Structure 1
Amino acid sequence: MREWPAIADHGVIGDLRTCALVSTDATIDWFCAPRFDSPSVFGSLLDRDEGGCWDLAPDGEISRTQQFYFPNSAVLITRFLTPDGVVEVHDFMPVHDSHEADHRQRLVRRVSGVRGKVTVRMLLDARPDYGRSRCHAEATDSAVVISGGGVRMGLTTTTELTVDGGTVGAVFTLADGDSVQFVLEMLDDDEQPSRDVVDDTAGLLDATTGFWRNWLAKSTYTGRWREMVNRSAITLKLLTHEPSGAIIAAPTTSLPELIGGSRNWDYRYVWVRDAGFSLYALLRLGFTDEANAFIRWLSERLGRDGQPDGLRGGLGPLRVLYDIDGNLPDEEEILDHLSGYRDSAPVRVGNAAVDQLQLDIYGEIIDSVYLFNKYGAGISHDAWSDVVHVISWVIENWDRKDAGMWEVRGREGAYTSSRLMCWVAIERTIRMARQRGLPGDVAAWSKVRDEIYDRIMNECWNPELKAFTQTEGGERLDASVLLMPMLKFLSPADPRFLSTLRAVEEHLVTDSLVFRYDPESDGLAGAEGTFSICSFWYVEALTRAGRLADAQLALEKMFTYANHVGLYAEQVSATGDQVGNFPQAFTHLALISAALNLDRALDG
């Protein structure tokens, strides 16, 4: 069996519809098409034997590999150094312009000889439908058509191909200056591949790098950590489904939080929480087009859906997550035929969290609407009516027990973070009403806002721990309380927050890395790593508390946990390895926020 790559040993490419993960040995081992949430075509990341992949590497000894991005782009370069010479693989998915009406989905791989003479071997083994289907490959005059499992693709190239059942191979030798191109194109049922596309890979590369550089040039960030912030911005953009405006949490499913454990979830959906925070990060960087597109997507979710609350199990006007089209995803399913990453079963598709009550989502989403109203074009009358409808529900339901922002399965509680975010939802609605003179019962809203504030200060504060706890009357800490000053709930100089920060440092922080909570409290088997978003929240909490030297050191330490191309998974394990789905939008948006706020504080 082929060796497993580390989760962090990947770069990501994409076309604003889906992504592909490319390992440091230039294997494409994860690719869902035509969308993020489609079944995988290449899925060896979750099963080395059954998943399928696209291998492309020197045929012989490899001294070492290097992987990096073309500057300010999503074009990935993998360089192989061998005893016979050096070759490079350039991987990208072409994007010409924003909102391409006639977008063609393609994976382009250009192999170039840099020095010496190197023999390269290629093998494409597509396994559609999460490896449950095998393909048939048929050579035509100009290409190979690969079909099966509801997928039809055309592979064109500038070298000779061999076909063996459903697999396609090639062996070729490159000297200095030589190159071979491969283009894998998604086809409609009766469509044939075009030879012209492989002859224009240089033009596709120029157009794609131009697109990314022109897009990034719109960023308003000029601070100290431009390389990390820019890479995080590109990553958030890669996780945006441009046709709909949706922003997914991650492009992968079931990458484990603990190797060999069962904490494996499908993140290829739009979490209202994650997307709301992403909108904040994009707005702070000046990317208003993406903010506008997501607000349009969100407006279709916010309104009255015409279903009585009882038919939704009392879950309210919003669900925790949606698919890219804004519909509820299919029921969670376990794919028993896949072994899972490093045998970390189960592999799940779908996510049962959709049926949870998570009250905090209302604060995150209303806060993002507030920011859009403040920094964008301003919300419409219909959008305001939808906000009022949502707030009316929050006012009636804020004190219910729920699953919390960490989506604890099987046990509900009175989570401090849920109370906090309900306070945010009402407080931001009051702000919008007063700033714009919008209609609403501000007096009634204010009364409930103050009631929530008093509940948190009285019931979520533990005088013995001298800290805010995870739940009302609880004894466990939770890193989400670090958000209090960022959300304007407490002053960062408030003695209660400062003592909470000290308690979090004592019990949840290890060398700048932060656990989200004591994992024994969630009822699931196995330990988990530190949560990278919480580590960046910690940086921001230190910043707001005036501990700028500590904040800068913690931020620089967090940068060392990024992978070789600046990407982050969800968590960092006890051994310093990245674990969980990858790359994770939540982590990258928190990086952006932490860097921006620390920059501003350091500049005085």
Structure 2
Amino acid sequence: MGNAAIADYGLLADGRSAALVDRKGSIDWWCPERFDAPSVFCRLLDSRGGHWWIRPTDDFEVRREYLSDSLVLRTVFTTAYGEASVTDGLVLEPGSRGHEIGRRSPGVLVRVVEGGSGTVAMTMSYYPRLEYGRRTAYLVPQDGTVVATAGPSSLTMTAPVPLTCSDGEAAARFTVGPGERKTFVLAHRPTYHDGPPAGLDDRDPLGDTVEGWRSWANLHTYPGRYPELVRHNVLVLQGLTYQASGAVVAAATTSLPERIGGDRNYDYRYAWLRDFSLTLRALWVAACPDEANRLFGWVASAVGQVDGEPVPVMFGVEGERDLTERRIETLGGYADSSPVRVGNEAWRQRQLDVLGEVMDAAWQLRDYLDPMSPEIRDLLRALADQAATSWRDPDAGMWESRDADRHYLSSKVLCWTALDRAIRFGDRLGDAADLARWAAARDEARETILRDGWNAGVGAYTGAFGSDKLDASVLLMPIVGFLPATDERMRATIALIEEQLSHDGLLRRWDTDPAAFTLCSFWLVHCLVLTGERDRAAALFERIAATANDLGLFAEQIDPDTGEHLGNFPQAFSHIGLVVAAWELTDAPEAALTEGEP
């Protein structure tokens, strides 16, 4: 069987990892130890990579949805003979609620098959392939369970039906009638760790998990437009958070391609400072500010003492810095798009925009960082100092160019942002000499950007000094308050970017980008609001929001011609963009922005 479309997948999460299940009931991705750990199912990246499907034997139609305010997914299969459902969830720690959910999740995947009408014949295939498909597990039936062991990991499946084990696969055929329920439980543990899988309520094995998710969602009240969309998208961001540390991964997957057959296939299961800061802004919008001190504390711990070295741009979910990239030669890649990569060499890059993004998030959440811990103060001071000395330097930019460093305009603008916000903090961060030094650097950076960033021949601010190429990241200029969107040159830039990089509202990062970048499309919405075109911005927002899959999930990019989702999935950037754009469209007075204070 070929790959499911990226948009066919649903997300399951438990605060330490994620699983993806397609519309046909196949779990094709799960890294149970943590987001960036080796997989036990990775059919997503190769048909031989391992799977666990439960589906009707006969032809079927599908409808599916999340149980309200949760990441527990119910898929309903309708055949000519009746209807049956499969409810899937990664189990949260029993009894955990609110901000504590997911911090000690047990690594258990539950699938509940229920009969609706008629009698439905079902088939199950369980084929774990551990360590990115390198290991075929040895299956051992034991007292109603099947234990799969391969090296350091063991999986214990409890099944309510007889299983046939052969060549690393456990298979079954069974039927369900009205009111019948069959619960399958798969528990992961280290091979050399004693202890049984976590106990579950036999009557409602996912009920406590659903209540855990709802308890988190109910802590937050969003007062703006599109409340249901915002509520769901923030829940997805929570699902992409490694709860033990607070780190937010960029996506749940590795190596899903930006272009089918292309080689820009990277591992996004890590925490970028850029994503962290934008996530904080989205959580602020959705009235979830209580996470601020905890998440900033994680960043301060992960970054550590800067000591004049470039600020690291990304980390493992527990703060690891060395994310050396390697290729998994045993996997052919999604739709034969190789290579499959684990690790990401971007950890070695200088990306100056992160200075402004983290500082801007701190300014947005300033009331919740008061009193400010010494660690956070030291971090913010270091960011300002580095922006003051490094804004003139070339870097890899926010799109993480791997060919050569350049003087990217968005990097310069976000260094200006770091300095501007540091000055606004005043004596909470520095003394009079610090503030004067930061102000001098800020003013020099602004003058240079206005002079060297404008390309008169193009009639726009371009992506890098001396370049004639448009870049959607330039839309950040009015968003961070560097220039009013109504400034003559800024308005011309927004119009030209929309004209040349947009297709029916979906915006590419540059003219050769293989598909539209979802976050940039939401940036265009934001800019239209700032130019006063609120009705057109709302129409564009709704058009972009409608490109999500049936579960409200976005990949990194969308092909504007076909609507196909591309890149890693689900992508935190895309969901952040929706949340922030919804807030900018809110008519409430408190949603209005002043230049320089987003």
Which category describes the TM-score, using the shorter chain as reference length? Answer: over 0.9
SS at match of 2:214: helix
Deviation (angstroms), 1:370: 2.1
**For the residues of structure 2 that align with 1:230 and 1:214, how far apart are their CA atoms?**
13
In structure 1, which of residues 561, 579, 583 is the aligned counterpart of residue 547 of structure 2?
561
**For the residues of structure 1 that align with 2:77 and 2:142, how far apart are their CA atoms?**
32
Residue of structure 2 equivalent to 1:483: 476
Does residue 582 of structure 1 match 2:569? yes
Does residue 593 of structure 1 match 2:580? yes
Residue of structure 2 equivalent to 1:292: 293
Deviation (angstroms), 1:162: 2.4
Residue of structure 2 equivalent to 1:366: 359
- Amino acid of the residue matched to residue 5 of structure 1? A
SS at match of 2:154: strand
Residue of structure 2 equivalent to 1:47: 46
**For the residues of structure 1 that align with 2:72 and 2:103, how far apart are their CA atoms?**
22
Deviation (angstroms), 1:52: 0.3
Q: Map Cα deviations across residues 80-125 of structure 1 (whole Å, 9 max, x no partner).
A: 1101111100000112412567531100000000110011111110
Does residue 413 of structure 1 match 2:424? no
Question: Cα 1:601–1:455, aligned 2, differ >3 Å: closer, same or farther?
Answer: farther
Deviation (angstroms), 1:361: 1.0
Question: Cα 1:472–1:201, aligned 2, differ >3 Å: closer, same or farther?
Answer: farther
CA contact (8 A) 1:302 1:390 kept: no
Aligned-residue sequence identity (percent) comes to: 38
Does residue 162 of structure 1 match 2:164? yes
Q: How does 1:502-521 map to 2 (within 5 A)?
A: 502-519=495-512
Question: Cα 1:255–1:450, aligned 2, differ >3 Å: closer, same or farther?
Answer: same
SS at match of 2:131: coil
Residue of structure 1 equivalent to 2:446: 453
Question: Cα 1:205–1:487, aligned 2, differ >3 Å: closer, same or farther?
Answer: same
Q: How does 1:5-404 map to 2 (within 5 A)?
A: 5-48=4-47, 50-62=48-60, 64-95=61-92, 96=94, 97=96, 98=100, 103-190=105-192, 194=196, 197=199, 200-304=201-305, 316-404=309-397
Moved more, 178-187 or 388-397: 388-397
Question: Cα 1:196–1:212, aligned 2, differ >3 Å: closer, same or farther?
Answer: closer
**For the residues of structure 2 that align with 1:157 and 1:139, how far apart are their CA atoms?**
11
SS at match of 2:126: strand
Question: Cα 1:143–1:65, aligned 2, differ >3 Å: closer, same or farther?
Answer: same
Q: Map Cα deviations across residues 318-345 of structure 1 (whole Å, 9 max, x no partner).
A: 2121111111243211112211111111
CA contact (8 A) 2:471 2:509 kept: yes
Deviation (angstroms), 1:405: 0.6
Deviation (angstroms), 1:290: 2.9
Moved more, 219-228 or 110-119: 219-228
SS at match of 2:312: coil
Residue of structure 2 equivalent to 1:529: 515
SS at match of 1:182: strand
- Amino acid of the residue matched to residue 340 of structure 1? G
Q: Map Cα deviations across residues 128-173 of structure 1 (whole Å, 9 max, x no partner).
A: 1000011011111142111104211111122222222422222211
- Amino acid of the residue matched to residue 17 of structure 1? R
Question: Cα 1:303–1:116, aligned 2, differ >3 Å: closer, same or farther?
Answer: same
**For the residues of structure 1 that align with 2:312 and 2:336, how far apart are their CA atoms?**
32
Question: Cα 1:214–1:377, aligned 2, differ >3 Å: closer, same or farther?
Answer: farther
Moved more, 381-390 or 337-346: 381-390
Question: Cα 1:210–1:99, aligned 2, differ >3 Å: closer, same or farther?
Answer: closer
- Amino acid of the residue matched to residue 473 of structure 2? S
**For the residues of structure 1 that align with 2:365 and 2:333, how far apart are their CA atoms?**
40
SS at match of 1:54: strand
TM-score scaled by length of structure 1: 0.93
- Amino acid of the residue matched to residue 368 of structure 1? A
CA contact (8 A) 1:16 1:238 kept: yes
**For the residues of structure 2 that align with 1:12 and 1:497, how far apart are their CA atoms?**
39
Q: Map Cα deviations across residues 333-376 of structure 1 (whole Å, 9 max, x no partner).
A: 11122111111111111111111111111111111222232344
CA contact (8 A) 2:230 2:286 kept: no
SS at match of 1:394: helix
Gaps of 5+ in 2: 593-598
Question: Cα 1:103–1:565, aligned 2, differ >3 Å: closer, same or farther?
Answer: closer
Question: Cα 1:173–1:333, aligned 2, differ >3 Å: closer, same or farther?
Answer: same
- Amino acid of the residue matched to residue 116 of structure 2? V
**For the residues of structure 2 that align with 1:499 and 1:355, how far apart are their CA atoms?**
36
Question: Cα 1:482–1:202, aligned 2, differ >3 Å: closer, same or farther?
Answer: farther
**For the residues of structure 2 that align with 1:163 and 1:34, how far apart are their CA atoms?**
25
Residue of structure 2 equivalent to 1:524: none
CA contact (8 A) 2:416 2:442 kept: yes
CA contact (8 A) 1:145 1:193 kept: no
- Amino acid of the residue matched to residue 16 of structure 1? G
Question: Cα 1:498–1:61, aligned 2, differ >3 Å: closer, same or farther?
Answer: same
Q: Map Cα deviations across residues 381-407 of structure 1 (whole Å, 9 max, x no partner).
A: 332123222322221211111111111
SS at match of 1:28: strand
CA contact (8 A) 1:112 1:180 kept: yes
**For the residues of structure 2 that align with 1:485 and 1:202, how far apart are their CA atoms?**
54
- Amino acid of the residue matched to residue 456 of structure 1? I
CA contact (8 A) 2:303 2:312 kept: no
**For the residues of structure 2 that align with 1:358 and 1:190, how far apart are their CA atoms?**
41
- Amino acid of the residue matched to residue 229 of structure 2? M
Q: How does 1:531-546 map to 2 (within 5 A)?
A: 531-546=517-532
CA contact (8 A) 1:266 1:351 kept: yes
**For the residues of structure 1 that align with 2:103 and 2:74, how far apart are their CA atoms?**
28
- Amino acid of the residue matched to residue 579 of structure 1? L
**For the residues of structure 1 that align with 2:588 and 2:104, how far apart are their CA atoms?**
45
**For the residues of structure 1 that align with 2:555 and 2:120, how far apart are their CA atoms?**
34
Residue of structure 2 equivalent to 1:312: none
Q: Map Cα deviations across residues 163-210 of structure 1 (whole Å, 9 max, x no partner).
A: 224222222110011011001011243557758846x24443221111
**For the residues of structure 2 that align with 1:567 and 1:351, how far apart are their CA atoms?**
24
CA contact (8 A) 2:152 2:190 kept: no
**For the residues of structure 2 that align with 1:158 and 1:73, how far apart are their CA atoms?**
26
- Amino acid of the residue matched to residue 572 of structure 1? I
Q: Map Cα deviations across residues 526-580 of structure 1 (whole Å, 9 max, x no partner).
A: x510100000000011011110111011001001110010000000113211100
**For the residues of structure 1 that align with 2:455 and 2:474, how far apart are their CA atoms?**
13
Residue of structure 2 equivalent to 1:466: 459
Deviation (angstroms), 1:493: 2.0
Q: How does 1:490-509 map to 2 (within 5 A)?
A: 490-509=483-502
Question: Cα 1:262–1:436, aligned 2, differ >3 Å: closer, same or farther?
Answer: closer
Aligned length: 585
Question: Cα 1:94–1:498, aligned 2, differ >3 Å: closer, same or farther?
Answer: same
**For the residues of structure 2 that align with 1:505 and 1:332, how far apart are their CA atoms?**
35
**For the residues of structure 2 that align with 1:188 and 1:151, how far apart are their CA atoms?**
5
Q: CA RMSD in A?
A: 2.0
Question: Cα 1:498–1:375, aligned 2, differ >3 Å: closer, same or farther?
Answer: farther
Question: Cα 1:499–1:378, aligned 2, differ >3 Å: closer, same or farther?
Answer: farther
Question: Cα 1:156–1:396, aligned 2, differ >3 Å: closer, same or farther?
Answer: same
SS at match of 2:69: coil
**For the residues of structure 1 that align with 2:42 and 2:348, how far apart are their CA atoms?**
27
CA contact (8 A) 1:183 1:197 kept: no
